[in-house]
Amino acid sequence: MVWVTAVVLVALLQYMALGIAVGMARGRFGIHAPATTGHPTFERLFRAHQNTLEMLVAFVPGVWLYGLYISQTWAMWLGIVYIAARFLYVFQYVRDPKTREIGAGLSFLIVIILIVGNLYGVVRIVMTR
pLDDT in tens, 74-123: 999 999 999 999 999 999 999 999 999 999 999 999 999 999 999 999 99
Residue ranges and CATH numbers for the domains of the chain are 2-127 (1.20.120.550)
At position 51, the amino acid (one-letter code) is N
The structure's pTM equals 0.93
What is the rounded (10 degree) CA torsion for 12, 16, 19, 20?
-160
